[in-house]
Structure 1
């Protein structure tokens, strides 16, 4: 009986230790994400063809290239910008975001757009989910699952770290 109790306690302690390890790893990844990033590359993954992706209900994907993304992990705020051109309206969009470690070696960033007071924009009750493929102190690769005319494909964004500055 004593052996069974010790065995159950040992399993519980190991499980709690594993949870602490996952939490610590998630915290480190969030700290790695902290700062300002430039979106340097956009590519499409799927069947061959031409793609049009209206990202996050804002603009066509090429409008995001060269834009800036900022993540502030201690309060889950941030922003991203779109550079203006004849095809794209320039703009900055504030976000509330969370980082989730899925426990299977993958992670994702979930966010929703907010106003200057961090209140969700009207009509934007849904958020967005981005799979984190790679996260290093210098570069992160994100995958957005989307579709065009009912055909699913993935858009892969490469962001390069500009600085650790986090001023909204």
Structure 2
């Protein structure tokens, strides 16, 4: 199971990043350009939040079956001093929970705004903050602290 979920989680991360970047681009473009918030914009907002939620569920599933997090949970006193184990057992999941919460709040608030510019502004700000949290918590291949490959094969 772990060998299937881990590459899936790695793959879906790129969908999350692409959809967030596109939604943020459309939000700033609409906000700064004083555009009309169309059905397309609403679909972008909804799709981005949905992809993010799917990734979070896959991540939670991975958390449950991962040998790294299992070790972290059962050996907390030792594991909390181990950078890689602590990152995946505590830091990554916490930061991603915060990011998904920010994206969800932003999506919900934007949907309920009455004016188009308010929708764009709200979505742009909340999604941008969520993206920053995500970018700070991904184990990038170039990270000196905790790193993983860009892509994992199935």
Same structural fold, with TM-score higher than 0.5 when normalized by the shorter chain:
no
Task: Calculate the TM-score normalised by the size of structure 2.
Answer: 0.31
Point out which structure has higher relative CO (alpha carbons under 8 A, 6+ apart): 2
Name the structure with the higher helix share. Answer: 2
